Amino acid sequence: MNRSPLLLGAQGERDCAARIASLRMVVGGGALFASGLARRLFGLPADQDTPTARTLGRLFGIRNIVLGYWAYQTRDADKEARRFCYQVNMLVDTVDVAVLLWPLLRRQHLDRFSLTSIALGSSAALAWADLLKLLDEA
């Protein structure tokens, strides 16, 4: 049974991997190609919508597209390659959540952005953990 809401309805490791990899690429594509829309969806305040913030958001987007593509391509690889891919993706999402806690704890007026991003990042990290569990059960 999957614990991450991102995997609801997905059946089996391959289907779960395709789902989370695709979601990662969609989020990355949004940050890369629609940074203004992504800013509004994630709740980044308009006064902080600067060229620097958009550039960093696009770098985040590229990273997510590459990681998602890797996970998608690894679905049919051997067990150890899949395990490594899932572990790296889980680590990235876990570290993202830790970093996103910083402005929240320091009361930097990024609550909506932090909470929205933490919800997505923790759900993604849990999805990768679910994949690792499925891999171990196989």
Residue 117 vs residues 1, 13, 111, 136, 138: alpha-carbon distances, Å: 24, 25, 10, 29, 32
In a domain, 27, yes or no: yes
Which ranges of the chain have pLDDT less than 70?
none
State residue 45's pLDDT score: 85
In a domain, 22, yes or no: yes
Number of domains in the chain: 1
In a domain, 31, yes or no: yes
In a domain, 2, yes or no: no
Q: 3-class SS at 78? A: coil
State residue 38's pLDDT score: 84
State residue 17's pLDDT score: 97
State residue 106's pLDDT score: 93
In a domain, 104, yes or no: yes
In a domain, 6, yes or no: no
Q: How many whole angstroms from its chain centre is CA 123?
A: 8
In a domain, 67, yes or no: yes
In a domain, 7, yes or no: no
Domain membership of residue 121 as a residue range:
12-137
State residue 55's pLDDT score: 93
